[in-house]
Structure 1
């Protein structure tokens, strides 16, 4: 059983969904305000999703939104979750992300993924069936570009000969790279072999522990040092639904509208193991999931303790603004979490005032 010390960190996840009651501009500006407030409240990370052609996610470029967030914050780490690297030229991604690292003074985490939505590929005239091969080539090029001043690469999709890469990132070895992992052990094994950190979602606490143990074992067997593996896991986290109000009943009622709209809109993939492709969400089942932290501060504290005891993972990425939640409610939830929940898990000196 894990020891419950005050060694946790908490981040926020942003999908920037445009629900019928909000405009694109309102949602995007609300998200930037939430990141600015999160920076002051002591949240450790802010993670931005990337989509196109879908109302449930209107940030088409994580680097642009992260640059805007970087310019208005001082302490919070800023991550892409994810940059869909098969949909962009890998050198462009490396250059844009290095620029964000400079603007933020070394506060960038680079989350990478393939993308799962065929419509998004069709919109950019890129073959959906090629996404895995493109992902592997792009990741190689991006990793090289962020660590080296020049890139030479020859592959199926890209032929790059001794091209300089500017600007150089502030972080000496480049921003840490994260991969998103859900149900597939193979994704965790690949991340471990490559030495990348990870963000988990859609799995039980028990499976979370299994995957972390698998990651450590695979990484060490691949020749990575114990210190490197410890650091990589320490940066990693799990994405959970979260909303806090004065009472559990209030939290569950306020969170419901945005969640149900989002789940009805996002019908191309089930989410987090608790939502099916059916239009009607089983909200009561959702509330009992390992992936849900919705309630009073006292309830959320107990749920986090249980999560930590089973998984041993120190980081949680909280999805508070799902489906265009009203701004006042989201900011209130963030404040309650920072004031009533966070002090139970984070040393006071680590909190930004």
Structure 2
């Protein structure tokens, strides 16, 4: 991790993340077989569980061809059967598209089937094309999210809810299952640039999921959004928990930065095509795969921000920058994209687990300290062995 200058030593160290996971929208090229892509995603969750990642989040989208998980609960239920410990989050359910009781009921079923590993991520809906097809006014999506979240939080906490809005009604609604063994199911509210998600999370005392942490605008808003979250928590009488704050950033790692940049040329042009079709405009500097990768790592791409494409050290440095910018957060999530061939993509996740996580958590510090201690005392140890050997020779093999 980058060292501070002597005059900065008195500055309090930021709260570094202690949990790590993957945010899987997913983003898959529409010219390829969706069944195979979904199977590969399920295999990936199994790999994440094997590598020791703490959590994985799967999105909900209904249009535009790339983000092909329509029901994160259905996907995560299949993933639960392939894994044993990793937490499984909906990332995120678009609340304006669901009747609150039905969604809360489905999440509780997932929690029961996974034996307490479900997490509920919520948001207003990302793709305008989704809202258009369902007749949902995007201008009302945040208001509708707030209405729904209020009902869902109460239902998940075991309340009987009667509520009426102009788009849903609940009459003495209650959950027949509830979360696994009565636990409190974790909820995270999506937050990008506006403070809406941060305020709602504070109002209900739940976590915050910063999806745009890599975007210049989203990065710039991190401090303001946390401040808004703290104020909302204080007004509602909840503690503001940095451990419940998650930040998302695209990452691809290799042994060298040059190798990582070269590997990312495989999938970055596809992502550029997706952004250009959704935005109806051409992106400057992205005419070649190498140019697209360079822009992504410097200026950044719309929505996806500035990616970490390089080495484990580059990832440690970026996460440290995020911690310094925010004052600290609890979980770092890799935005998983089809940047590289599957084998290289898996190797990137292995490198992150092997070399980035221990640096940030300190889990390998004792081993490094043990080696340094052995090195400092090697002369004493070698001399003791030499002396013992000479004494044995002098005794001509006799054992005392």
Same-fold call, TM cutoff 0.5: yes
Partner Cα separation in structure 1 for residue 164 and residue 356 of structure 2: 50
Q: Does the 8 Å contact 2:209/2:245 carry over to 1?
A: yes
Given the alignment of the two structures, is residue 184 of structure 1 paired with residue 194 of structure 2, yes or no? Answer: yes
Q: Tell me the TM-score normalised to structure 2 length.
A: 0.76
Greater C-alpha Rg:
2
Q: 1:318 aligns with which of 334, 337, 356?
A: 334
Q: What root-mean-square deviation, in Å, do the aligned CA atoms of Structure 1 and Structure 2 show?
A: 2.6
Equivalent residue runs for 1:188-207 within 5 Å: 188-202=198-212, 203-204=215-216, 205=219, 207=221
1:172 — aligned with what?
Answer: 182
Given the alignment of the two structures, is residue 278 of structure 1 paired with residue 287 of structure 2, yes or no? Answer: no
304 and 102 in structure 1: CA distance in 2 versus 1, 3 angstrom threshold: same
Q: 1:302 aligns with which of 297, 317, 333?
A: 317
1:142 — aligned with what?
Answer: 152
Q: 1:251 aligns with which of 239, 257, 260?
A: 260
| Structure 2 unmatched ranges of 5 or more | 1-10, 287-291, 365-400
Q: 124-133 vs 149-158, which deviates more?
A: 124-133
Q: Does the 8 Å contact 1:110/1:178 carry over to 2?
A: yes
Partner Cα separation in structure 1 for residue 142 and residue 30 of structure 2: 34
Q: 2:360 aligns with which of 327, 331, 345?
A: 345
2:7 — aligned with what?
Answer: none
Q: Shift of residue 279 of structure 1?
A: 4.0
Q: Tell me the TM-score normalised to structure 1 length.
A: 0.86
Given the alignment of the two structures, is residue 215 of structure 1 paired with residue 229 of structure 2, yes or no? Answer: yes
Q: Does the 8 Å contact 1:6/1:347 carry over to 2?
A: no
Q: 1:229 aligns with which of 240, 257, 277?
A: 240
Partner Cα separation in structure 2 for residue 318 and residue 6 of structure 1: 15
Q: Does the 8 Å contact 1:27/1:324 carry over to 2?
A: no
Q: Shift of residue 65 of structure 1?
A: 0.9
Q: Shift of residue 152 of structure 1?
A: 2.0
| Structure 1 unmatched ranges of 5 or more | 271-275
72 and 325 in structure 1: CA distance in 2 versus 1, 3 angstrom threshold: same
Secondary structure class of the residue paired with 1:31: helix
127 and 234 in structure 1: CA distance in 2 versus 1, 3 angstrom threshold: same
Q: 1:9 aligns with which of 19, 33, 38?
A: 19
Secondary structure class of the residue paired with 1:80: strand
Partner Cα separation in structure 2 for residue 121 and residue 348 of structure 1: 45
Secondary structure class of the residue paired with 1:51: coil
Q: 1:238 aligns with which of 237, 242, 247?
A: 247
**Count of paired positions:** 338
Q: Shift of residue 107 of structure 1?
A: 1.7
Q: Shift of residue 2 of structure 1?
A: 5.1
Equivalent residue runs for 1:23-102 within 5 Å: 23-102=33-112
Q: Shift of residue 244 of structure 1?
A: 0.6
208 and 2 in structure 1: CA distance in 2 versus 1, 3 angstrom threshold: farther
2:5 — aligned with what?
Answer: none
Q: Does the 8 Å contact 1:84/1:115 carry over to 2?
A: yes
